[in-house]
Amino acid sequence: MKKQLLALALCCVASLAGANEGVKLEKIQVDPSNPAVKRGVEAFMESCHGCHSLKYIKYQDLVGLGFDKAKVKEWQGDWTIDSPVMGMMPDDAAMASFGTIPPELSLMAKARDGGNNYMYSYLMGYYTGADGVTGNHVFPASKMPDPLGISSATEPAQRAEIAAKARDIVSFLNWASDPHEQERFRLGYYVMGYLLVLTSLLYVMKNRIWARLK
């Protein structure tokens, strides 16, 4: 009996370890500040917008982040200011070139296990193999060419610059997945503070009222 219990316990431990399979993701802290998100927008427009859409983000929302209209005009091209940020490449062209349709990115920060860490590790996960072919550690089946050039960057300074860019892009996509996140946190602090005071008062009152009983 004891042996069976031990085996059961070991199985539990083993399966816990097994659940964590796959590539280890790098952990990053996204920067929700406005400058970082804005840097992320610029990097996104430069490196991602060619193929990827953000259909729940409108060009107008970028003006809301603090870009001036002339700058946004460059990105929006023939689209209007209140149209969603659609990728530049038509789906059939993407299908012809890459054999897949580039995924929509508005919710990417929430649509993968690991979220922001996944996106960052994926962007930074490109490498050049011994045969000179580029691969990706995090998503080996990826059809996306290395967008930031990390696979060919060898200089530490250059790699650091790309890492910073990747982090900015992730910060922007995190914002895009939930534009009200910071507002929610701010409200949260007030709500928790209020509830803490209220609940403490209720506790005191409860004790006073119950003290009437002998």
Amino acid at site 207: N
Q: Of 10 and 88, which has the nearer Cβ to other proteins?
A: 10
CA distance 99 to 122: 19
> Reduced to 3 DSSP states, what percent helix, strand and coil does the chain have, rounded to the nearest 5?
55, 5, 35
How many CB atoms are closer than 10 A to CB 103? 14
Nearest approach, Cβ of 161 to other proteins (angstroms)? 30
Nearest approach, Cβ of 65 to other proteins (angstroms)? 14
Nearest approach, Cβ of 33 to other proteins (angstroms)? 18
- Please report how the helices 156-177 and 34-47 are oriented relative to each other, as an axis angle in degrees rounded to 10: 100
How many CB atoms are closer than 10 A to CB 61? 20
Tokens at 95, concatenated: 């299908």
Q: Of 145 and 193, which has the nearer Cβ to other proteins?
A: 193
Q: Of 5 and 130, which has the nearer Cβ to other proteins?
A: 5
Q: Of 152 and 199, which has the nearer Cβ to other proteins?
A: 199
Nearest approach, Cβ of 162 to other proteins (angstroms)? 26
Q: Which residues are at the interface with other proteins (CB under 8 A)? A: 8, 11-12, 14-15, 18-19, 56, 106-107, 110-113, 115, 177-180, 184-185, 187-188, 191-192, 195-196, 198-199, 202-203, 205-206, 209-210, 213
Question: What are phi and psi for residue 151, nearest 5 degrees?
Answer: -70, -25
Nearest approach, Cβ of 128 to other proteins (angstroms)? 29
Q: Of 78 and 214, which has the nearer Cβ to other proteins?
A: 214
Q: How many residues in the chain? A: 214
| DSSP tag of 93 | H
